[in-house]
């Protein structure tokens, strides 16, 4: 069995950039990804949503960012295992580690966990007929926004996904209505300002009560949670964006110090177990507030990889020099 210098558990943006960076440090690298595709949340939740807070891109589609990261990582030909879930970590007497998955075993000298929020599934509202219409006009994720072209769309939620999709679909759909159960949003301030100044029909303090239709979504009944006054909306599609449930899964049993559903790390992105690092949304750096941003994940990936290189080879420098000094 081949022994890798570093095995990255998670093939989202942070993991892909970490793979590229470990290749820059000439580390033999492997990626384990539980999903059938690379990209994590960007691929599963919003491949066609624009992202505005990645350095160097005024805006970039999530799927295009993933494609670029995958191409960048592929420069150093990491071993890639998709649709393979990491289950168990075994520390060996020789200092190496074995990761057991649902498909086999992998030996490695160091581990970098970039599993994002872990396994996730969308939160449901629990309203009548919600399950009946799932896939028949009701959805929780947008895989292809062209499916909403010319339709009357109702969006439920007040976070980044709900607001971003309302803005992203307003020029594609014939009408976009957004309902939110309160008047405070959890989305970026700039996005909320754009939403409220647009022609999107925003109904604050409204909640979805019922979904109606024959074989497809045709109507939605919403109510004002202050007065219980109801409104009936003619809609062709309903997009529910009220968050998702996350679960670390088997990683929670690896013996690492945890902070809820996140892994405690120090400034070097080291976990409580030598040779194991964490970066991105799953990492909880001591003394810092939670900042689940792609830009943060990129920086943490570089930190983790550089210190992992020093861990594996004490004679090497943590600082690798500028990438512009490299010859490809």
288 token code pair: 């810092």
Torsion angle, alpha carbons of 292, 65, 242, 87, to 10: -70
First CA to last CA distance, the chain: 29
10 Å Cβ neighbour count for 178?
A: 26
- Identify the three-state secondary structure at position 146: helix
- Domains of the chain, with CATH numbers? 3-120+244-325 (3.50.50.60), 124-240 (3.50.50.60)
pLDDT by residue for the chain (328 residues), tens only, comes to 799 999 999 999 999 999 999 999 999 999 999 988 999 988 887 788 889 889 999 999 999 999 999 999 999 999 999 999 999 999 988 889 999 999 999 999 999 999 987 767 789 999 999 999 999 999 998 888 899 999 999 999 999 889 999 999 999 999 999 999 999 999 989 999 999 999 999 999 999 999 999 999 999 999 999 999 999 999 999 999 998 877 788 999 999 999 998 999 999 999 999 999 999 999 999 999 888 999 999 999 999 999 999 999 999 999 887 766 665 5
DSSP 310: H
Predicted confidence at residue 133, as pLDDT, reads 96
H or E element: which one contains 120? strand 119-122
Contacts of 247 (CB under 8 A, 6+ apart): 118, 119, 120, 261
Phi, psi angles (nearest 5°) of residue 234: -80, 115
**194-to-148, 173, 188 alpha-carbon distances in Å:** 21, 17, 10
- CA proximity to 213, closest of 230, 236, 231: 236
H or E element: which one contains 72? helix 62-74
Contacts of 125 (CB under 8 A, 6+ apart): 156, 208, 240, 242
Predicted confidence at residue 30, as pLDDT, reads 98
Predicted confidence at residue 327, as pLDDT, reads 58
Please state whether beta strands 29-32 and 79-81 pair in parallel, antiparallel, or not at all (unpaired): parallel
Contacts of 281 (CB under 8 A, 6+ apart): 14, 116, 117, 262, 292, 297
Contacts of 81 (CB under 8 A, 6+ apart): 30, 31, 32, 33, 101, 103, 106
Instruction: State the number of CA atoms in the 13 A half-sphere of 108 facing the CB.
Output: 28
Predicted confidence at residue 118, as pLDDT, reads 75
Predicted confidence at residue 326, as pLDDT, reads 62
Alpha helices in 173-273 (DSSP H): 189-196
Predicted confidence at residue 115, as pLDDT, reads 93
Put simply, whether the predicted model's pTM sits higher than 0.95 gets the answer: no
């Amino acid at each position: 069995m081949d022994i890798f210098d570093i095995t990255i558990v998670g093939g989202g943006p942070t993991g892909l950039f970490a793979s590229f960076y470990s290749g820059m440090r000439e580390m033999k690298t492997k990626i384990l990804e539980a999903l059938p595709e690379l990209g994590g949340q960007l691929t599963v939740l919003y491949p066609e949503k624009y992202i505005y807070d990645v350095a160097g891109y005024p805006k970039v589609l999530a799927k295009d960012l993933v494609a670029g990261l995958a191409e960048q990582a592929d420069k150093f030909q990491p071993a890639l295992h998709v649709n393979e879930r990491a289950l168990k970590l075994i520390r060996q007497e020789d200092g190496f580690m074995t990761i057991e998955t649902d498909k086999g075993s992998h030996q490695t000298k160091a581990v970098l966990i970039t599993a994002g929020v872990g396994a996730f599934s969308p939160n449901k509202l629990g309203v009548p007929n919600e399950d009946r219409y799932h896939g028949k006009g009701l959805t929780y994720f947008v895989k292809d926004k062209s499916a909403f072209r010319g339709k009357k769309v109702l969006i439920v939620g007040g976070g980044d996904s709900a607001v971003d999709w309302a803005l992203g679909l307003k020029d594609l759909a014939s009408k976009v209505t957004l309902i939110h159960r309160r008047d405070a949003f959890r989305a970026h301030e700039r996005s909320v300002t754009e939403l409220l100044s647009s022609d999107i029909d925003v109904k604050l303090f409204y909640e979805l009560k019922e979904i109606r239709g024959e074989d497809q979504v045709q109507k939605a009944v919403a109510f004002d949670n202050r007065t219980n006054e109801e409104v009936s909306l003619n809609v062709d599609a309903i997009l529910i964006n009220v968050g998702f449930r996350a679960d670390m899964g088997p990683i929670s049993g690896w013996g690492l110090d945890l902070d809820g559903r996140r892994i405690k790390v120090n400034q070097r992105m080291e976990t409580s177990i030598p040779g194991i690092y964490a970066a991105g949304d799953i990492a909880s750096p001591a003394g810092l507030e939670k900042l689940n941003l792609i830009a943060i994940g990129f920086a943490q990936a570089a930190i983790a990889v550089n210190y992992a290189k020093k861990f594996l080879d004490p004679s090497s420098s943590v600082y690798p020099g500028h990438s512009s000094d490299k010859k490809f």
